Amino acid sequence: MLTHTWIITQTLGQTIAVILLLIVVFKSLPILMHWNRESASFLQLKLERRTYLISTIIQFVFWYQIAGLLLFLITVNNILPGSIKGAMCATGVLSVNIFGYPLLWIKLIAVIVYAQFLFLNRMDGREPLYPLTPNKYYWLFPALLLVIADFILSLLYFSKIEPDIIATCCSISFSTAKDSSIFFIAANVRMVPMLIFFYLSFALLVISVIFFNRGPELSFVISLGFTTTAVFLLKNHFVKYIYGLPSHNCLFDIFWGRYYYIGYILFSALIISLICSLLLLTLKYIEKGLSAPVKPIRKILQWGAVLGSTLFTLLCSIYWLNWIFLD
Amino acid sequence: MNRWLNILDYAIISLLRRRRKQIALVVIYTLVVAFFASVIFFTGALRQEAVYVLSDLPELWVQRLAGGRLVPIAQSKIDSIAVIRGVKRVLPRLWGYYYDSPSGAVFTITGSDSLPKGLKLLDAAIGGGLDSNQVFCGSGFPETHFTGLGQQLGLIDYKGCLHSFEIVGRFSSQSDLLTRDLIILSPSAARKILGIAKNNYTDLAVEVWNPDEAETVGRKIDRLFPSVRVVTSAQLRSTYEALFSHRGGIFIYGALISLFSFLILAWDRASGLSREERQELGILKGIGWQISDVLWMKFWEGAVISLTSTICGLVLAYLHVFYLNAPLLRPFLIGWSVLYPEYRLQPAFAFSEVLLIVMLAVVPFIAATIIPAWRGAVTDPAEVMQNG
Amino acid sequence: MAEPLIRAQKIVKTFNTGRSNELTVLHELDIEVGKNTFVLLKGPSGSGKTTLLTILGCLARPTSGNLRCMGEEVSHWPEKFLTRFRQKYIGVVFQNFNLIGGLTAFRNIAAALIPRNLSNKAIDARVRSAAEQVRIGHRLDFHISELSGGEMQRVAVARCLVGDPQIIIADEPTAHLDSRLASEIIWLFNQMKRNGKTVIVATHDPLVQEQADIDRVLCIRDGQLQPEE
């Protein structure tokens, strides 16, 4: 499958990302070793200039990898199901071999790591004294590892896709359709505790983000819980109402045009909320070294965390309530 | 926001000012993009043709093998297969290839009383079925032999005797790929030309009631008759897809080499800042430009150059492939050029192809210019005074 | 005013630090410049005039020593912050005009405003007003190559003024100009001082000392300040 146009695009893209990150890590080693803010030496001047190169490349790679993630989602959701027998959606495409899901995870984690670095970089750039240099450059190592893992997994995943092997799709995800329509409308009984937990964690997240400035650890833990529950419930509960099918539990069909690409919005909202609560936590740890005011930054992050989770919860609930009240 | 627009504005003016130097780069860039966009459009169009062709196929296809060769299949098999549960209809088929020495082309001969489904008669001299001395043909034969409706068409049978037929109809279909070289004879005439004995057929097409059962029915046939080979249309589709993908993919990798050699050129050009450019960057730094401003300016320059070249390249490739029929790529796809001397591709290209081309053309170029741009951007602002 | 506009203490500038070709150009200089003064920096070529100007103009950092400018301690700021500071307070006129060839006079002047977040309209207005100040408004749409030496120098001065700086730094502004044009430029610098700006000019042109409205003369030799003559 390595000769498929969509796949060539991504393989090439990953190759460029690996090359750029290797350059970046290589160039950042002298900064980690020789950085001395007090010095006015030639070397220090050179290193200061180099920081611009590194942040430029990382910014480029960041946007480019976000585009890459989108391309990947489009490929597995909309393109490959046509070429792989038996795969009707991304569930089948991703599980066609063992590398599919780890690849998706790696890509998501990489976005979080880039966001973390760019945030540190942004905060550092506001200060005349480089309070976060050179320590922020340690984040480049996980970024490099992730990008290499992404590259290798992509190669393995795409090269091991055999179009004539029949994939098992979400037939497993089709729960047995014996649930009566009453249950369908009123939510599956097994889901009730999860649903309670979901709305509770949402409320707690909003409260803790807005009112407990001092405890971003708490918000972050709640955010993790909220995100996990959200994905679980989306797959096992909310999708049914998005599709309007009682037995269809496929997580990935929501990325289709038939459902107005709602999946892209839901997952973006979720990941933005998670990243913002992570950055709130980061902000707490670096705050001491910063001289420029951090209040406006914190406000933006709080808004991001709250609005992201609210958008997700609201959209899912609207789909659900729509079914309850229409019938 | 204003700052970005101002910088973009400056970048464009600055490019126009040095347009003579940029033209060579843009021309080469355009040609490289046009080359690999042609490859992608060409293979994409071929693949699209194959999809059209395959869409009318029956679900199953039964052939007889002897010693690994295809051999005619006997009438008796039809009845045995027709009784298998799930089979809707068994259609015996008569077809084969015919090498036409005057034109050097290979035509496909099919035996049928009437026009197969999916084909559309352009003009016809008769209303009903074919007589044994009449033929329908695709547009290929009349064009290569400069004949037309009502004229005679001579075919030499497998023993070497010449038979003459009257052309009574010309047909076309959505795809030229497999119908252009097609000649339809009456079954008895086709048997004569192809040398297939009475009650024998080339192969059998099997229609099933439920397409999902095709696989199972196929397996059943396979078990019942050890000497046959069963091909499902799904298999065929995957094979075609893989084949076209593969062929196209190899071409794309080939085209990538040209892209990379171009990148080396771009790198070389961008990293070797001329004295004037260096001085200009020095002045800009001296009058208050930030490193990031210069980086943005260089980014815009790169984006303008690469987008211009990519769009020009896309247009050139489109014209090359769909209006001129890819004269520069044909020789590489030898099979096609011999079979279809005048074969016209349908203008069809997908969003993914354009996306691929843009990704391949723009992203590496910009990536390759980051480091040279940074080198220019970190020019010491004091330098402009020291050099004064 | 309690604090002078610029206060430099023990400024040392060494090039190629830590290398075999290390070269110290400035040796522990102390300078104070008050608001609205015209300072003339004299000295033979190679004495460190230009280097001192780059430091006073925040184009480069001193190797050691402290520099306070407009009440800010800028001596250890990284380039990004120095540049931002320069955009706000400092205008520079270079030797040899240092205009960008192939662009019009207008675009040359506007280039200094590009890094600021200004609309097209605002840029247009500012460029025209700066050009009027140096009486070059009628030549704005001409290319640099079509301008005379005096006009080019006036464009360079307009580019320095367009950001409305408090401090104006000029390095040999009258070099390569005949005495009539030189006087014209000196008149412009006098105008600036009259408008409340601080002007620091490095030159060894005697004409400047004769005609300019000078408050202080600093002599520099071998990287050290000499007592005033």
pLDDT along chain C (229 residues), means of 10: 81 82 88 91 86 91 90 87 92 88 92 91 94 90 90 92 93 86 90 92 88 90 79
Do B7 and B49 lie in one domain? The reply is yes
Q: Is B331 on the interface with A (CB under 8 A)?
A: no
Contact assignment for C16 to A130 by CB distance below 8 Å: no
To the nearest whole percent, how much of chain B has pLDDT over 90? 10
Cβ-Cβ contacts under 8 Å, A6 against chain B? 352, 356
pLDDT in tens, B115-143: 766 677 777 767 667 778 888 887 777 77
Please state at what angle helix C120-133 crosses helix C149-161, rounded to 10 degrees: 130
Distance of alpha carbon C148 from alpha carbon C185, whole angstroms: 14
- Residue B76 three-state SS: helix
To the nearest whole percent, how much of chain B has pLDDT over 70? 81
To the nearest whole percent, how much of chain A has pLDDT over 90? 38
pTM for the full predicted model: 0.79
C-beta of residue A83 within 8 angstroms of C-beta of residue A123:
no
Contact assignment for B385 to C53 by CB distance below 8 Å: yes
Do B360 and B326 lie in one domain? The reply is yes
Do B374 and B290 lie in one domain? The reply is yes
Check whether B238 has a pLDDT greater than 70: no
Q: How many CA atoms lie within 13 A of A50 on its CB side?
A: 21
Cβ-Cβ contacts under 8 Å, B245 against chain A? 1, 3-4
Distance of alpha carbon B44 from alpha carbon B326, whole angstroms: 13
Last residue of a domain, one of B242, B264, B281: B242
Contact assignment for A42 to C16 by CB distance below 8 Å: yes
Do B210 and B141 lie in one domain? The reply is yes
Q: Residue ranges of the alpha helices (H) in A126-191?
A: 140-159, 181-186
CA-wise closest residue to C160 among C122, C192, C117: C192
**Considering its fold, how many domains does chain B have in total?**
2
Please indicate whether residue B99 or residue C11 has the higher confidence score (pLDDT).
Answer: C11
Measured between CA atoms, how close is B242 to chain A, in angstroms?
Answer: 8
Q: Is A43 on the interface with C (CB under 8 A)?
A: yes
Burial B73-83 (b: 16+ CB within 10 A, else e): beeebbeebee
How sure is the predictor about A139, in pLDDT bands with cuts at 50, 70 and 90? Answer: very high
**pLDDT the model gives residue C38:** 93
Cβ-Cβ contacts under 8 Å, C10 against chain A? none
How sure is the predictor about B175, in pLDDT bands with cuts at 50, 70 and 90? Answer: low
Length of chain C: 229
| Nearest-by-CA chain C residue for B292 | C80
Look at A26-40, B67-81, C117-131 and tell me which has the smallest mean pLDDT. B67-81
Contact assignment for A42 to C81 by CB distance below 8 Å: no
Check whether A142 has a pLDDT greater than 80: yes
Q: What is the DSSP string of A192-217?
A: HHHHHHHHHHHHHHHHHHHH-TT-HH
C-beta of residue C31 within 8 angstroms of C-beta of residue C37:
no
Look at A60-69, A221-230, A277-286, B43-52 and tell me which has the smallest mean pLDDT. B43-52
Do B256 and B205 lie in one domain? The reply is no
Integer CA distances (angstroms), B69 to B62, B72, B193, in order: 14, 10, 20
Do B77 and B7 lie in one domain? The reply is no
Contact assignment for A163 to B377 by CB distance below 8 Å: no
Look at A304-308, A311-315, B181-185 and tell me which has the smallest mean pLDDT. B181-185
**pLDDT the model gives residue C37:** 92
Instruction: Output the six-digit token pair for B207.
Output: 């229609």
How sure is the predictor about B184, in pLDDT bands with cuts at 50, 70 and 90? Answer: confident
Do B331 and B381 lie in one domain? The reply is yes
Q: Is C95 on the interface with B (CB under 8 A)?
A: yes
Kindly report the average pLDDT of chain B as a whole number. Answer: 79
Q: Which residues pair with C200 in a beta bridge?
A: C39, C169
**pLDDT the model gives residue A238:** 86
| Nearest-by-CA chain B residue for A56 | B370
User: What are the backbone dihedrals phi and psi of residue B228, each rounded to the nearest 5 degrees, phi first?
Assistant: -105, 160
Contact assignment for A42 to C18 by CB distance below 8 Å: yes
Instruction: Output the six-digit token pair for B237.
Output: 């589709």
Contact assignment for A52 to B378 by CB distance below 8 Å: yes
Check whether B176 has a pLDDT greater than 70: no
Q: Please state the rounded mean pLDDT for residues B332-358.
A: 63
Q: Which residues pair with B163 in a beta bridge?
A: B155
Last residue of a domain, one of B198, B222, B242: B242
Please indicate whether residue A254 or residue A173 has the higher confidence score (pLDDT).
Answer: A254
Do B154 and B262 lie in one domain? The reply is no
Range(s) of the domain holding residue B314:
2-53+244-387
Do B91 and B238 lie in one domain? The reply is yes
Look at B90-94, B144-148, B302-306, C198-202 and tell me which has the smallest mean pLDDT. B144-148
Do B106 and B190 lie in one domain? The reply is yes
**pLDDT the model gives residue B29:** 86
Q: Is B280 on the interface with A (CB under 8 A)?
A: no
Helix (H) or strand (E) holding B138: none
Q: Is B18 on the interface with C (CB under 8 A)?
A: yes
CA-wise closest residue to A246 among A314, A295, A300, A173: A173
Q: Which residues pair with B354 in a beta bridge?
A: none
Mutate to test the interface with C, among B287, B296, B383 (most CBs of C within 10 A): B287
Q: Is A57 on the interface with B (CB under 8 A)?
A: yes
Q: Is C63 on the interface with B (CB under 8 A)?
A: no
Do B330 and B362 lie in one domain? The reply is yes
A207's CB contacts (< 8 A; 6+ apart) are none
Instruction: Output the six-digit token pair for B124.
Output: 């016809």
**pLDDT the model gives residue B250:** 67
Strand spans (E) along chain A: none
Contact assignment for B295 to A56 by CB distance below 8 Å: yes
**pLDDT the model gives residue A309:** 95
Neighbours of chain B (3+ CB pairs under 8 A): A, C
Q: Please state the rounded mean pLDDT for residues B378-384.
A: 85
Q: Is A70 on the interface with B (CB under 8 A)?
A: no
pLDDT in tens, A174-223: 444 444 444 444 445 677 888 899 999 999 999 998 887 778 899 999 99
How sure is the predictor about B177, in pLDDT bands with cuts at 50, 70 and 90? Answer: low
Distance of alpha carbon C90 from alpha carbon C79, whole angstroms: 15
Q: Is A13 on the interface with B (CB under 8 A)?
A: yes
Contact assignment for C19 to A48 by CB distance below 8 Å: no
Q: Is A30 on the interface with C (CB under 8 A)?
A: no
Measured between CA atoms, how close is C34 to chain A, in angstroms?
Answer: 26
Last residue of a domain, one of B222, B242, B262: B242
**pLDDT the model gives residue B340:** 45
C155's CB contacts (< 8 A; 6+ apart) are C97, C99, C105, C108, C109, C131, C134, C136, C139, C144, C147
Q: Is B248 on the interface with A (CB under 8 A)?
A: yes
Q: Is B385 on the interface with C (CB under 8 A)?
A: yes
Contact assignment for B367 to A6 by CB distance below 8 Å: no
Do B235 and B248 lie in one domain? The reply is no
